[in-house]
Structure 1
Amino acid sequence: MKHKLTLTLYSFLLVCCFSLCINAQQHAFDLNIVNYSDKPDANIEHLHLLSLTNNSNKVLNYSISSQEIICKTEYDDVVSNKIGDVDNNEEVVVNEKNSSSLTVEIYNKALSKKIDKMILNPNESIEFYVKITRHNNTEMGTLKCFKIATHLLDNEKAGKYVIIRTFIPNPNILRH
């Protein structure tokens, strides 16, 4: 009985330590939208400025990805979407066959090269652009949502994401 209680106590402490480590890594960095594109919805190209900050005391390697997801009503609040959430991969990804003809690319701040990985020193922050380009065959009058996610390369479970919504107006409707 005494050994069972000791084993239970050690198991509990181990789980607590593991949870703290995972939680600490998720707060080791921040992902935020600095500025949404200020161009009209009808523009073919939009640039959104994002920021990634390493809050830890060690050098961290990140991967950056994007995927189209099904839009939800909570994504309507563009102010709260500016602050990155912990990525638990609960968003429903749009089927590739049904995907819109929008291109999402991630560029460095100078817009000189595409990126999918970053290395940040302790307490360093870097800004980068998410470029969304509409093609001629994109469905008009639709709303598309994209999840921009960053993950630690050494721990894919530690990640954050932001949602960027893109409205493709119908040019036949007045004021578009």
Structure 2
Amino acid sequence: MLAFKAVSSQKEEEWSQALTTCRRLLEGLADELHPASTELTKGRALNQAQYVNRLWAFMDKVIESESNRELAKAHVDFLGAWMEKTNKLSNKGVHAEVSQVEAVKAIFHAYLVVADILEYLHNAPSKSGQKDINFATIDELEAVLNVSRATAKEIVKARISNGKLSKEILKEIKGIGRKTLEKAEQAFSI
């Protein structure tokens, strides 16, 4: 929202600040999805400054379907190229000449990039190797936990109203007893 507010201004300096905000958003996303490390992945450095490479490394890990791998990789490369362009625009500096249109395009594209990356988030393995319960569908919850459709819907409602699920939140849902909670802990990362 800060970036949109900044590009709505008539001050060129704020347009550049909007691009800096976008870059920080992408850096923060990279920090969460693939923290910096000294390792190289496919020849790419993954240090703190290399947030685009870290986003690519995240994408490399979460693309599951072999049949879609090439297409998805091309899409990742496209996204990476756009992130690089956004990065270059953002690094022009606060007092650089950035047009308002250029800033608006970069902001909208940054949001599209983030949306595309987050679409793959449900494929990311948890630390335990289990699927995150926060991305399970109603059908998955119903089948895996052997609960009624109504209980599965209540789980999703609790997830939405709390932002994410925890064991404590699951315990409070009608239809979730000790056995169902045990199934949830075995089947999903919570």
Which structure shows the bigger proportion of residues in helix conformation?
Answer: 2
Which structure shows the bigger proportion of residues in strand conformation?
Answer: 1
Common fold: TM-score over 0.5: no
Higher relative contact order structure (alpha carbons within 8 Å, sequence separation ≥ 6): 1
- With the length of structure 1 as denominator, give the TM-score of the two structures: 0.26
- With the length of structure 2 as denominator, give the TM-score of the two structures: 0.24
